[in-house]
Amino acid sequence: MAKLTPMMEQYIKIKAEYKDAFLFYRLGDFYEMFYDDAINASRELEITLTKRAGGKGDPIPMCGVPYHSAENYIRTLIEKGYKVAICEQVEDPKTAKGVVKREVVQLITPGTVMETNMLKEGENNYIASLSHFNDGSYVIVYNDLSTGENHIALISHGWDAVIHELYNQPIKEIVISSNLPDDMQLQLQDRLNITLSYQDEVTFNAEYRSLTENLNDERLMKAFSRLLNYIQHTQKRALDHLQKAKVIKLKQYLSLDMYSKRNLELTETIIKKGKHGSLLWVLDKTATAMGSRMLKKWLERPLLNENQIEERLEIVDGFYRGFMERDSLRDILKSVYDLERLAGRIAFGNVNARDLIQLKRSLQTIPELKNTLYQFNRKEINSLADDLISPDHIVNLLDGSLVDDPPISIKEGSIIKDGYNEQLDTYRYATKNGKKWIAELEKKEKQETNIKSLKIGYNRVFGYYIEVTKANLHLLPEGRYERKQTLTNAERYITPELKEKEELILEAEEKSIDLEYRLFIEIREKIKNHIPELQHLADVVSKIDVLQGFATVSEANNYKRPQFVESKLNIKNGRHPVIEQVMKDGSFVPNDISLDESKNILLITGPNMSGKSTYMRQLALTAIMGQIGCFVPCDDADLIIFDQIFTRIGAADDLVSGQSTFMVEMLEANHAIANATDRSLILLDEIGRGTSTYDGMALAQAIVEHIHNNIHAKTLFSTHYHELTTLEDSLSNLKNIHVRAEEHEGNVVFLHQIKDGAADQSYGIHVAKLAKLPDPLIERATAILQQLEAEDKPKPITEKMDSGQLSFFVDENKKVKKEKQPANSDKVINDLKEMNLFEMTPMEAMNELYRLQKEMKQ
C-alpha cells in the first residue's frame, strides 16, 4: 500500500497534539485544513471543500483560508466556541531540506483571545477553571486575560451551587480535570454553553508565587495552578499583567441562584438574550467600558455589608446633588480609554504607538478628574480622589518620547520625537542633510544645464535619479551624467556623487527606523513595570464611573435613597424599574409594599394581566438595586438586607424557556426551601400551575405552610387558586392582598393597584369578553359559572397540622353527585371545574365550551 506523503505525515503528527482544535496548517499563502477539520470548517465557515491526493488511499478532504484574511475566519470559529491552533512554517522553505519544518505557534481559544475586535467592550471575557476535591468542595477560578484580573471562589456546598455560581457569567472557556465526572462535564458544556479544556497538572510553579501570596488554602493554590499551567502551556505568553488572586467570599454577597438571575432579567432578558430590557440596560449610565464591566459584576454580586452599601450610597448621594460637577465628571470619564485592557495588551506586547498615545491622553485627564472629585462636598468622594494617583512619570515618558500622531505600524518609523535620543537625532540629521543636499543639487543642475523641467526623483528600485524629458535631451552636454533608465518620454541618470549621498541617506534612514523600533519596545517595557499602577487606576476610575452612573440614572428616573432597617420593610409608591422605562409615558401605577415579622408572607390574588408578577419582581429588583448601592424606584424605602433571593415563576409564564416542565418548577421550589433563611426573599409566582388543579393547589398550600412554619423568609406568593386566600385564617403571618380591577359596563378594567384583602372575582369571563368571544357564548359561560358557584367548591383544609405535614383536599360532592347525575354530566362539570380560564386563549375557551355543550346535549 502506498504511503502518505511526508507532508501529510507531518500534518498528522502535529494534529495529534491538537485534537480539540482546528489546525490551521500553513501552506504557502494559505492555511489549509484536512480530514474532519476540513469538513467541519467548510460547514462552519461556509467555504468550499476540496480534495487533495495524500499519497495513500482516497483523496483527502481539504479546505483553506488565505493567510491575509485568516483573522475573520478565526474570529468566527472562536465566537462559535471552537479553538484554533496556528501552525506556521518555522524555517525558510527555500533552504529547507525535505518537508519544511512547522510548529504550532499559538493556540487561540475562546477564553484566551486578546484581540480587541474579538472582545466585547463592556463585558469581561473569562477563562475559568474548576477543580473538585475529595472533601466534596469545588474551587472556581475566574481569569480575564484581557484585563489580568483573577478571582477565586471556594464552594463547599455541592455541585448545584457550582452551576448556580457559573450561570450567566461571561465565561467562554473552562479548564477542568479530565477526571471530572462525565455528567458534570456535559452540564458545563451543554447547559452553560462553555468550551471545555483540560489540564491535569496542578503542581504549583514557583513563578506564580507573587500571584498567590494571599492564598492560604492548598485547594485554592491547586485550582489556581491548574488555570495558570493551562495558560502557560497553551499560550506560551507572558503573564506579567496578571493580578493577585482575589478571593471572593461568596458569603459576603447576596446570593442569587440561577433561576433568579434568569427570571429577574438582571443582565439579559429571557427571550432575546440581550441587554435591552434588562435591569442592566436601565442602570448602565457609565461613560467607560471599564465601568460597564464593573457594573455588571456588581449586579451579579450585590452586597450584604451595610457599611459597604452605605459607603456607595454616600458617594451616589454626593454625585446626585452635585449636578454641575457630575456633568464635568462624565465629560472627563468619556475621554478615558480602556486602561484595564490596555494594560493587558502592554503586558502581551501587542500595543502600537497610537495605543500609547491614547494611554497618555487618558492619564493626562487624571489630575482634572481628581480636581473635579475634590469639588464635591463629600468625604467619601474626596477619598476616591485621594486614591487616584496621577502617574506623572508615565505621562512624562510618553510625552517626551512619542509624537502626537504616530502611524499604526511600529516598524516604519515616525514614532519617536526629536530630542528623545541623540543617536536617532544624528541619523535624522544625516537624512535631512542628505535630502537638503539633493534639493540643492537639483537647483544647481537646473541652472547649469538650463533645463527647467529637470528634476531629481526617487524610487525603491533605482534609488535617486536625475530625470530629463526627451524634448530637452539636446540641452544636456554629452557625458554629464550616467544613463540608468529610459522611459517613453524621459531619460533617467545618476552621478557617483548622487549615489554616494543616496547610500548615506538610506543607511541613516534604515538605521533610524531600526532604532525607533528598538526605542519603542524599550518604552513599552518601561511602562510594563507600571502595570499594577495602571490597574489600580483603572479600578478606581471604574468605581467612580459606576457610581456616577447610579447618580445619573437616579436623577433621570427619580429614584430615592433607601434606608436600611432591621425588620420592617416598607416601600412607598414603588415602581418596577424596567417596565416603567419600557412604558415611557409615565403611566406605570406605583404601589406600596410592607413586610415585617408579623406579616412576612403576602398572598397575592387578582385577575390575569393585572400586575401580580410585576409587583413581585419589582420588590426583588428594588432590593438588589439597594444592595448594589443605587437609589431605588419609589418615593421612600425602608429596606432590609436580604441574604438570598429565590424566585419561582409559574409554568405558564415560563413558556419561552421551552423547559417549563412541572419538574423544573418543583426543583426550583425545592431549591428555595432547602436554602432560604429568615433573612431571605422568596418569590413564588403561580406555583402549582404546571399540574392538575388539586395537585397544584395541594402543593402550593403545603409550600406556603412550610415556609410559614419553618423558614420565616419574606415571601410573596401569587396564585390563581382563590381557595388559598382562606389560609389567612390559619396562618397568622400571612396576609392577603390583591390587585384591584374594576368592572365597568360589564368590562374589566385593570387598575394595577394593590389593595388589602383577597380578590373577590376571577374576572376570567370578563377577560373572555374583552377578547370578543361571541355574546351567546359569554352568556352561557356566565350561567355555568353561577351554577358552579352555587355548588360547593373544594376547600383547602386549614386546621392546624403538625408542621411539615401535607394537607389534602376533599371534595365531598364528587361521590354524591356520581349517583344522581348521568355519567357525562358528571364529567362535564368536572372538566369545567378543572378548566383554567387564565391559561386559555379565547379560541381554546370557545372550543372547550363547544365540546362541553355537545357532550351535555348527547
Summarize as ranges the residues that interact with ligand ADP (CB under 6 A): 579, 588-589, 606, 608-614, 752
User: In this complex, which beta carbon is closest to Mg ion, that of residue 442 or of residue 839?
Assistant: 839
Query: Considering CB distances under 5 to 8 angstroms, the limit depending on partner class, which of Mg ion, ligand ADP, none binds residue 614?
Result: ligand ADP
Q: How far is the CB of 757 from ligand ADP (least distance, A)?
A: 16
User: In this complex, which beta carbon is closest to Mg ion, that of residue 613 or of residue 644?
Assistant: 613
Q: Beta-carbon neighbour count of residue 780 at 10 Å? A: 14
Which stretch of DSSP H or E encloses residue 234?
helix 218-235
* Nearest-CB residue for ligand ADP: 611
Query: Considering CB distances under 5 to 8 angstroms, the limit depending on partner class, which of ligand ADP, Mg ion, none binds residue 64?
Result: none
Q: How far is the CB of 653 from ligand ADP (least distance, A)?
A: 7
Touching Mg ion, residues 584-613 (CB under 5 A): 613
Determine phi and psi for 777, rounding to 5 degrees: -65, -45
User: In this complex, which beta carbon is closest to ligand ADP, that of residue 169 or of residue 608?
Assistant: 608
Could you tell me the three cell numbers for 8?
501529510
User: In this complex, which beta carbon is closest to Mg ion, that of residue 234 or of residue 613?
Assistant: 613
Q: What's the rounded Cα separation, in Å, for the pair 99 and 660?
A: 58
Q: What's the rounded Cα separation, in Å, for the pair 775 and 766?
A: 11
Query: Considering CB distances under 5 to 8 angstroms, the limit depending on partner class, which of Mg ion, ligand ADP, none binds residue 277?
Result: none
Sign of the Cα torsion 538, 544, 547, 548 reads negative
Judge whether 594 is annotated as a binding position. Answer: no
* Nearest-CB residue for Mg ion: 613
Q: Which residues have a Cβ under 8 Å from the Cβ of 331 and sit 6 or more positions away?
A: none
Query: Considering CB distances under 5 to 8 angstroms, the limit depending on partner class, which of ligand ADP, Mg ion, none binds residue 143?
Result: none
User: In this complex, which beta carbon is closest to Mg ion, that of residue 26 or of residue 648?
Assistant: 648
Judge whether 606 is annotated as a binding position. Answer: yes
Judge whether 846 is annotated as a binding position. Answer: no
Q: How far is the CB of 282 from ligand ADP (least distance, A)?
A: 15
User: In this complex, which beta carbon is closest to ligand ADP, that of residue 37 or of residue 686?
Assistant: 686
Query: Considering CB distances under 5 to 8 angstroms, the limit depending on partner class, which of ligand ADP, Mg ion, none binds residue 752?
Result: ligand ADP
Q: How far is the CB of 612 from ligand ADP (least distance, A)?
A: 3
User: In this complex, which beta carbon is closest to ligand ADP, that of residue 83 or of residue 612?
Assistant: 612
Would you say 287 and 545 are in contact if contact means Cβ atoms under 8 Å apart?
yes
Q: What's the rounded Cα separation, in Å, for the pair 420 and 397?
A: 10
Q: Which residues have a Cβ under 8 Å from the Cβ of 519 and sit 6 or more positions away?
A: 401, 415, 416, 420, 421, 424
Could you tell me the three cell numbers for 222?
491547586
Give every strand in the sheet of 747-756, ordered side by side. 255-256, 644-649, 681-685, 714-718, 601-605, 734-744, 747-756
Q: What's the rounded Cα separation, in Å, for the pair 499 and 458?
A: 11
- Reduced to 3 states, what is the DSSP secondary structure of residue 189? helix
Q: How far is the CB of 604 from Mg ion (least distance, A)?
A: 9
Q: Which residues of 504-527 are buried (b: 16+ CB within 10 A; e: fewer)?
A: ebeebbebbbebbbebbeebbeeb
User: Is residue 614 close enough to count as binding Mg ion by CB under 5 A?
Assistant: no
Determine phi and psi for 735, rounding to 5 degrees: -130, 135
Query: Considering CB distances under 5 to 8 angstroms, the limit depending on partner class, which of Mg ion, ligand ADP, none binds residue 167?
Result: none
Residue 390, CB-side half-sphere exposure with 13 Å CA sphere: 13
Query: Considering CB distances under 5 to 8 angstroms, the limit depending on partner class, which of Mg ion, ligand ADP, none binds residue 579?
Result: ligand ADP
Q: How far is the CB of 680 from Mg ion (least distance, A)?
A: 21
Q: How far is the CB of 650 from Mg ion (least distance, A)?
A: 7
- Reduced to 3 states, what is the DSSP secondary structure of residue 350? coil
Could you tell me the three cell numbers for 44?
462552519
Residues in the chain: 858
User: In this complex, which beta carbon is closest to ligand ADP, that of residue 138 or of residue 588?
Assistant: 588
- Reduced to 3 states, what is the DSSP secondary structure of residue 747? strand
Q: How far is the CB of 604 from ligand ADP (least distance, A)?
A: 8
- Total residues in contact with Mg ion, by rule CB under 5 A: 1
Could you tell me the three cell numbers for 220?
485554592
Q: What's the rounded Cα separation, in Å, for the pair 513 and 157?
A: 60
Among 153, 156, 163, 355, CA closest to 247: 153
User: In this complex, which beta carbon is closest to Mg ion, that of residue 15 or of residue 648?
Assistant: 648
Q: How far is the CB of 837 from ligand ADP (least distance, A)?
A: 13
Q: What's the rounded Cα separation, in Å, for the pair 833 and 842?
A: 17
Would you say 733 and 599 are in contact if contact means Cβ atoms under 8 Å apart?
yes
Judge whether 609 is annotated as a binding position. Answer: yes
User: In this complex, which beta carbon is closest to Mg ion, that of residue 104 or of residue 603?
Assistant: 603
Judge whether 285 is annotated as a binding position. Answer: no
Query: Considering CB distances under 5 to 8 angstroms, the limit depending on partner class, which of ligand ADP, Mg ion, none binds residue 771?
Result: none
- Reduced to 3 states, what is the DSSP secondary structure of residue 279? helix
Query: Considering CB distances under 5 to 8 angstroms, the limit depending on partner class, which of Mg ion, ligand ADP, none binds residue 219?
Result: none
Q: How far is the CB of 547 from ligand ADP (least distance, A)?
A: 29
Query: Considering CB distances under 5 to 8 angstroms, the limit depending on partner class, which of ligand ADP, Mg ion, none binds residue 688?
Result: none
Interface residue list for Mg ion (CB under 5 A): 613
Annotated binding site: 606-613
Annotated binding site for ATP: 606-613
